[in-house]
Amino acid sequence: MSSEKLVVTVSVTGGIGSGDAPHLPITPKQIADSAIEARHAGASVAHIHVRDPKTSEQSMDFKLYKEVFERIRDHSDILINLTLGPGARVIPDKNDPVGLGPGSTLCQPQKRIEHVLRLKPELCSLDVGSMDFGRHVFVNYSEHIEWMAEQIQEAGVKPEMEAFSLGHIEIGKRLIETKRVKEPAIFQLCLGIPGGIPATPLNMIAMKQALPPDAIWAGFGIGAACFPMLAQAAILGGNVRAGMEDNLYLAKGIRAKSNAELVERAVSIIRLLGKEPATPEEARKLLCLD
């Protein structure tokens, strides 16, 4: 089996809940240090959310993004992918059908994209469609997404379009057709999220077949599906992702102590398949960032 390079993304810390997760990075220093450690383990891209250090909850504070960004930049060559997911959560008000209840974060697209336009990372995630997301609704209004895509392109940042269903891939194709996203476009296939497409081999195959022919893509599953879907993506010719945003376990009953451990496990899997993790310099070429 011939060796080929794959981009390994580390999803350092998510935006939803922390629960009983003592090793989850929370502060800017913890998030940056964890991304840098994951680089040494084989990751070439760090997907970044930030959290309020006092509450551990999801945050959109620019100062937190800036601190994480600068800490990583000062100490590592890992490519940075900043999330655009926060600011889209809707929980209806029980007494008002058009009101927002406690826990909602819905805001204007200008706020959702501020940190990307100011920091200009190599990549940012772009959630292109709406869906039920666990106990809340994840709202990505089409006109907002189109405007955000235009702003991202003007800033010289490449979007990674997040697809949680086959319909989201079709939305991504329209962004390409209308020149709001340049080709070759990057898609991230997200499987197993409650409200999205289930994490099965056939579903990943269906999503991969729905992509534009020249698309660059990666795929991942959450929880127990993390490593099976990682192997499936590698087999199908995609890039891969692992980290504590998606999964807290190395194996059943064995908690990961760090993102580096999860990346090490991911690298061991792709090497069994005859592939190698790309360096950041190689990832830049594979993702057509130059």
- Burial grade of 194 (CB within 10 A; 0-12, 13-18, 19 or more): exposed
Say which CATH number the domain at 236 has.
3.20.20.70
With contact defined as beta carbons under 8 Å apart, do 12 and 259 qualify?
yes
Q: Kindly report the number of other CB atoms within 10 A of residue 126's CB atom.
A: 28
Q: Is 83 left (phi over 0), alpha (psi -120 to 50) or beta?
A: beta
C-alpha 41/C-alpha 251 separation (Å) is 18
DSSP line for 202-258: HHHHHHHHHS-TT-EEEEEE-GGGHHHHHHHHHHTT-EEEESTTT--EEETTEE-S-
Tell me if the pTM is above 0.85: yes
Distance CA 68, CA 45 (A): 14
Residues 23, 262 contacting (CB under 8 angstroms)? no
Res 2: pLDDT: 43
* Domain of 160, in residue numbers: 4-286
pLDDT recorded at residue 17 = 63
Residues 141, 87 contacting (CB under 8 angstroms)? no
Considering its fold, how many domains does the chain have in total? Answer: 1
User: In the prediction, which pLDDT does 1 show?
Assistant: 32
What does each of the 290 residues of the chain score in pLDDT, given as a tens digit? 345 999 999 999 987 765 567 899 999 999 999 999 999 999 999 999 999 999 999 999 999 999 999 999 999 999 999 999 999 999 999 998 888 999 899 999 999 999 999 999 999 999 999 999 888 999 999 999 999 999 999 999 999 999 999 999 999 999 999 999 999 999 999 999 999 999 999 999 999 999 999 999 999 999 999 999 999 999 999 999 999 999 999 999 999 999 999 999 999 999 999 999 999 999 999 999 97
